[in-house]
Amino acid sequence: MKYRKFGKLDIEGSAFGLGCMRFNGAASGDSTIDEKKAISLIRRAIDGGVNYLDTAYVYLDKTSEIVLGKALLDGYRNRVTVATKMPKEAVHNRAEMQALLDEELKKLQTDHIDFYLMHGINREKWEAFKEIGAPEFFDDMKKEGKIRYKCFSFHGDYEDFAYIIQDSDWDMVQIQYNFMDIDHQAGTKGLELAGSLRIPVVIMEGLLGGRLANAPDNVQALYDRFPVKRSAVEWAFRWLCDRPEIATVLSGCNETAQIDDNLRIFDSLEPGIMTPEEHHLMDEVRKAYLSRTKIGCTSCRYCMPCPQGVNIPGIFSAWNDASLYGTDPKKDWGFQNLVRNGQTADHCVACGACEAACPQHLPIIDSLRQAWKELDAPEG
């Protein structure tokens, strides 16, 4: 395992950090954790050199922290740093923040959390956290030794990110980043801004939640033509670890084989490892993925609200995901939410209000019809 310096912090973190959001390995396939299996996965990762573990209050119906706590008994806690998070939705004042943190410490069976994150914030959530005094609370908890570092995880656009990261004295940030997200969310600009501030960056969704693990034919052909043979997973992690700003790349794993594969991959990855030819390959890979785009919707939402309640950007995003990454709409949580809420394309009455508002002049009505055929049209 390679270890990387955490920016300005006195910490050497493993390049591979274990994400604890996806231990749904129960035999029945439901959302409950197969606890024995999860504990064995966590300990296997730690025995293999992983020293950074990421969980959150809400993961796996609030059971992820409990399982991680159990996995860290028998001396494992002393070998790792633990990151967990506070969700804004669960706290409205200082007393509730205190109660939530104490509950997390109890579930994790530890007296301190290393990295404590405001969970999944954008500018709106950050303002809401400030209103209830969260930054001061985090500072106080640092002084009391209940947490070591004040951090946030981020889902929003670059402007929000640039504002938030410079609006407080953060110790670490966690962003979604991978070779397809260079201009999405915080993106490369956000990564470089954090680097310039010497704030370590932890990466989530390095494989886009697993979507980049299986390359479609036109992408696989590019990997196959390259003189050095590597799996799609290895290329994705290699591309990330090339960046010196990145402290740790989180990966959620469901199987022992995935842990072992990632331990092998991260054993050789260092900043600056990518050759110019490899960079060129990954640029071509990105283009090959993007060539599969069904519609160039940027989710600007000028078309919204649709008078019929159709979630136009949501449908186009699911349609593109299915084409680019082979996502199964039936297993796509976001898309299934649209189905449950009656926001799907079949409700379109072709009034044209959306097309008049679209700054890119997209043929929204016809595209919704096509998306309906390909994504969610009932059989028969």
Ligand X SMILES: NC(=O)c1ccc[n+]([C@@H]2O[C@H](COP(=O)([O-])OP(=O)(O)OC[C@H]3O[C@@H](n4cnc5c(N)ncnc54)[C@H](OP(=O)(O)O)[C@@H]3O)[C@@H](O)[C@H]2O)c1
The piece of 134-142, 179-187, 204-212, 295-303 that touches ligand X (CB under 6 A) is 204-212
The single residue among 250, 269, 312, 371 that binds ligand X, judged by CB under 6 A, is: 250
Q: Does 98 bind ligand X (CB under 6 A)?
A: no
CB of 357 to ligand X, least distance (A): 30
Distance of CA 290 to the CA centre of its chain: 20
Where does the chain show beta strands of DSSP type E? 3-5, 12-14, 16-19, 52-54, 81-86, 113-121, 147-154, 172-176, 201-204, 246-252
Q: Which stretch binds ligand X (CB under 6 A): 86-94, 103-111, 165-173, 256-264?
A: 256-264
The one catalytic residue among 3, 52, 57, 59: 59
Question: Which of 4, 22, 77, 148 is close enough to bind ligand X by CB under 6 A?
Answer: 22
Distance CA 173, CA 162 (A): 12
Q: What is the largest CA-CA distance in the chain?
A: 64
Q: Determine the interface stretch with ligand X among 32-40, 95-103, 220-228, 257-265 (rule: CB under 6 A).
A: 257-265
* Shortest reach from residue 55's CB to ligand X, in Å: 6
**233 contacts ligand X (rule: CB under 6 A):** yes
The 3-state DSSP class for residue 284 equals helix
Amino acid, single-letter form, for residue 193: L
- Say whether residue 120 binds ligand X (CB under 6 A): yes
DSSP state of 371: H
Determine, following the binding rule CB under 6 A, whether residue 208 of this chain makes contact with ligand X: yes
| Contact (CB, 8 A) for 64 and 56 | yes
Q: Is 69 in the site for ligand X (CB under 6 A)?
A: no
Closest CA to 154 of 117, 129, 127: 117
Q: How far is the CB of 356 from ligand X (least distance, A)?
A: 35
Under rule CB under 6 A, residue 20 binds ligand X:
yes
* CB of 63 closer than 8 Å to CB of 33: yes
Q: For ligand X, how many residues bind (rule: CB under 6 A)?
A: 27
DSSP annotation string for 15-81: SEEEE-S-----TT-SSS--HHHHHHHHHHHHHTT--EEE--TTHHHHTHHHHHHHHTTTTTGGG-E
Question: 325 catalytic, yes or no?
Answer: no
Q: Does 252 bind ligand X (CB under 6 A)?
A: yes
Considering the rule CB under 6 A, would residue 108 count as an interface residue with ligand X? no
By CB under 6 A, residue 258 contacts ligand X: yes
Shortest spacing between CB 185 and ligand X, in angstroms: 10
Please state the closest distance from residue 340 (CB atom) to ligand X, in A.
22
Distance CA 61, CA 83 (A): 17
Cβ pair 122, 175 in contact under 8 A: no
For residue 54, state whether it binds ligand X (rule: CB under 6 A). yes
How many Cβ atoms are within 10 Å of 353's Cβ, its own excluded?
A: 14
**Does residue 327 belong to the site contacting ligand X (CB under 6 A)?**
no
Smallest distance, ligand X to C-beta of residue 175, A:
9
Amino acid present at 204:
M
Per CB under 6 A, the list member of 15, 33, 113, 204 interacting with ligand X is 204
The helix (H) or strand (E) run that includes residue 191 is: helix 187-196
When asked if residue 213 is in the footprint of ligand X (CB under 6 A), the reply is yes
Q: Build a one-symbol-per-residue string for 143-172: x at contacts with ligand X by CB under 6 A, - elsewhere.
A: ----------x-x-----------------
Interface residues with ligand X (CB under 6 A) are: 19-22, 54, 119-120, 153, 155, 174, 204-210, 213, 233, 250-254, 258, 261-262
Catalytic center residues: 59
